[in-house]
Structure 1
Amino acid sequence: MLLPEVLQEEARAFLGDALNEALVARAPGRVEILGNHTDYNGGSVLAGTIMYFVWTIGVPSYSDKVDILSTRFEEETSFHPGSLAPTNTNQWSDYVQGIYWAIQRRRHTPVPIRAVVHGNIPLGAGLSSSAALEVSMVNLVLELSGISLPAKAKAMLAFEAERLYCSVSCGIMDQFTSQLCKSESVLAIQCASMQTQDIPFPEDLSLLIVDTGVSRAAADALNQRRTECRTALSQLQDKGWDKRNLSQIAPRELSDVESVLDGVLLKRVRHIVMENERVRRGIRALEQGDLETLGNLLYESHESSRNLYDVSHPNLDLLVEILKHQKGVIGSRLTGAGFGGSVLAVVEREHVSDVKKHVSEKYLRESGIEPQIIESTIPGGVIVSKYQ
């Protein structure tokens, strides 16, 4: 595993001679292909990992404290694992503490570690830098502690650190994708049952992630959307609907939903129901090599996220419109929570260079912002190895 030079330098200084006994966990960011805001509604998602990562390199501590240095934030955090309580401050150190809290909540005893964390996933771009930190950390801590768990159980610990300890109303997609995704495949997740399926991704396609340059502060709005969905479900249940989550509503039932809900709540339900249908159709399109249908589904997803779930942003809409007119672009949509962040485009690999050039020029001209554009294949999920 190749390690960034800054990580190796900081690790040598922070860990000293113990570096020779260290382990490294590398967890990737993720991009959501289809399934916008369906995961916390018990629905289906389709996602893949990207060639940007969080690395954690560490050793068991010689004290009863956990000591973690972040190269990105140029900060060190220290804490005693036995004195943790959930928080909602959303500092990077909270996610680290959340991992220890989640492991102990499951009646395991993780050893204190001393470690250095480094990442190159753009922050605030909707690419799950927080989940990559959690997945990297949970795999390293478990390995150093000699605790063997199934991959999905590790992903759930990472999820619980964010959802229960850090009080972020996320679903399981981010952590499951970073943990479980296979190389050159996208991961289909049925979030209520936690069933997963690997779907091969065409070798001649690339993922382009275009950062709007508009940093998102999504936590409050994400919590609001989750509350709206819970309210909609509760009102349906009060009227006798036997549904455990909104994703159990079939498209053919939407006309009946209109007799119970209206306004914002009806819009939210329409989006969730039809987005789940788009995930199902997207899986089938990939399996059949039907790229035209896949592209149309991406555009439909963006329109629904904008018009029904109200999580888009003018700069996201601008980028999707620019990408739609570029040769070689199969489809495009906002990815992640929305409210800023990034747009995903599925692009024929032979046209990637031209697409990047034209999109960068046109977006800069129309928005005044030079976009950061990531080209990626799908590297697979987390890796743990001995430091070399």
Structure 2
Amino acid sequence: MKKKLIRNTVAKFEKEFGAPPENLFLAPGRINIIGEHVDYNNGFVLPAAINKYICFAVSESHSNQCSIIAIDLNEKFTFSLDNPINPATIMWPNYMLGVLAQFIEKQMPVKGFNLAFSSTIPMGAGLSSSAAVECGFGYAMNKMFSLGLTNAEIAVTGQKAEHTFAGVNCGIMDQFASVFGKKNKVIKLDCDTLEHEYHNADFRNYALLLLDSKVKHTHLTSGYNDRRRETERGLSIVKEHCPYVNNFRDCTEVQLLELREKLGEVSFRRCHFVVKEIQRVLDAVDALDNSDFLRLGRLMTETHHGLSKEYEVSCAEIDFLVETALKEKSVLGARMMGGGFGGCAICLVEKDKVDHIIETVSSAYSDNFGIALEPYKIKISKGTSVHKM
């Protein structure tokens, strides 16, 4: 699939621009084993890059003109570096424009370019296609024009582009995982300091299976930003009464219970989920290091219950997928993954039962919702990279 993606991207570039591209880059999507909605709450997360990619074919234009071809959308966007870089009226270019605007603001030596990109990362599935676009583009500009950026700076630039040009106040996890991923490794990332460490992703007789609900409810962006405000409000109340608490990792469940009335039920539930989830990530790393897959599965399932009942970012379709999968003895754990309100469920499944799970859950899902489930068997891959021509 990767070879086909590269071949098709190069062919489209040649057809559009009349010559082969000078450079090829691959930026992966990502999964998150556990640690949902805690990256913007200064917690820990456990993501990994996966073998689904955006391929960028790029050459210098030898002018101030820039052209971007979105192959999968069959759309083209052109602009000049002579003019200010502002958000576009259509959304897809903004993930790249937001990155480029930061480079220009810092007076980095970017030049005009021609670019075509295509993807095998499913849109709206919670696999961070937007972060792959931002970081793949930033990585390409950095390599082509020798901007001297570190991988961490590329990730932070991608995050800021999402905030400023796409309007989503995301945390750093998606961009970090896309850039820093390593084959067969998960990343334990401290979202406060960006310190990180790699852990082996050897699931032995088990596999990670993604079940794409094929739904994305329209309140993702608004709901995501609402949750961020709700947790910020809750944390400010906690800080008023517990001055030594700097962020949620300093906070305990006991403190939240004592402040429940002052927090109010909504803020309490949001904060309670975050505090418990930060601990679950630490427990999950320990479980993975000790090959305790039963414990890892239980933690994943606990996360889903928290996301659905306390953080309230799940939906009927995802809840159904999780509940149906968990009825199977070969499924050790399952949960919603990503921003929420649709997207994917991630399941820890016995390897030799993957096809059975797909068949069973797909049939039940179709019967209940009339939607064809899309399963993804994924492998953990390396992060954003140059592809040698």
Tell me what 1:206 maps to.
Answer: 207
Tell me what 1:101 maps to.
Answer: 101
Question: What is the identity, as a one-letter code, of the residue corresponding to 1:76?
Answer: K
Question: What is the identity, as a one-letter code, of the residue corresponding to 2:136?
Answer: S
The structural deviation recorded for 1:357 is 1.6
Answer whether contact 2:203 2:291 (CA < 8 A) is retained.
no
Does 1:287 pair with 2:292? Answer: no
The structural deviation recorded for 1:183 is 0.5
Question: What is the identity, as a one-letter code, of the residue corresponding to 2:41?
Answer: N
Tell me what 2:318 maps to.
Answer: 316
Answer whether contact 2:256 2:268 (CA < 8 A) is retained.
no
Answer whether contact 2:63 2:111 (CA < 8 A) is retained.
no
Rounded to whole Å, the distance in 2 between the matches of 1:88 and 1:244 is 38
Tell me what 1:12 maps to.
Answer: 14
Name the SS for the 1:29 alignment partner.
Answer: strand
Give runs of aligned pairs for residues 188-207 of structure 1, distance below 5 A. Answer: 188-204=188-204, 205-207=206-208
Answer whether contact 2:182 2:382 (CA < 8 A) is retained.
yes
Query: Structure 2: where are the runs of 5+ without partners?
Result: none
Return the TM-score normalized by structure 2. 0.94
Does 1:154 pair with 2:154? Answer: yes
Tell me what 1:215 maps to.
Answer: 216
Rounded to whole Å, the distance in 1 between the matches of 2:378 and 2:126 is 15
Name the SS for the 2:215 alignment partner.
Answer: coil
Answer whether contact 1:286 1:294 (CA < 8 A) is retained.
yes
Tell me what 2:57 maps to.
Answer: 57
Rounded to whole Å, the distance in 2 between the matches of 1:3 and 1:136 is 18
The structural deviation recorded for 1:63 is 1.4
Tell me what 1:340 maps to.
Answer: 342
Tell me what 2:77 maps to.
Answer: 77
| CA distance 1:3–1:26, change in 2 (3 Å) | farther
| CA distance 1:85–1:246, change in 2 (3 Å) | farther
Answer whether contact 1:305 1:311 (CA < 8 A) is retained.
yes
Question: What is the identity, as a one-letter code, of the residue corresponding to 1:207?
Answer: L
Question: What is the identity, as a one-letter code, of the residue corresponding to 2:228?
Answer: R
Name the SS for the 1:69 alignment partner.
Answer: strand
The structural deviation recorded for 1:45 is 0.8
Tell me what 2:372 maps to.
Answer: 370
For the aligned residue pairs, the C-alpha RMSD in angstroms reads 1.9
Question: What is the identity, as a one-letter code, of the residue corresponding to 1:126?
Answer: G
Tell me what 1:235 maps to.
Answer: 237
Deviations 1:89-116 (A, max 9, x none): 6711111111101223444222221110
The structural deviation recorded for 1:232 is 1.4
Q: Mean alpha-carbon deviation: is it higher for 363-372 or for 253-262? A: 253-262
Size of the alignment, in residue pairs? Answer: 385
Name the SS for the 1:260 alignment partner.
Answer: helix
The structural deviation recorded for 1:370 is 1.2
Match of 1:331 among 330, 333, 336: 333
Rounded to whole Å, the distance in 2 between the matches of 1:89 and 1:342 is 28
Aligned-residue identity in percent = 28
Deviations 1:119-160 (A, max 9, x none): 121111111111111111111111110223222111111112
Tell me what 1:351 maps to.
Answer: 353
Name the SS for the 1:386 alignment partner.
Answer: coil
| CA distance 1:90–1:69, change in 2 (3 Å) | closer
The structural deviation recorded for 1:88 is 8.7
The structural deviation recorded for 1:14 is 2.0
Q: Mean alpha-carbon deviation: is it higher for 248-257 or for 298-307? A: 248-257
Rounded to whole Å, the distance in 2 between the matches of 1:264 and 1:342 is 25
Answer whether contact 2:239 2:245 (CA < 8 A) is retained.
yes
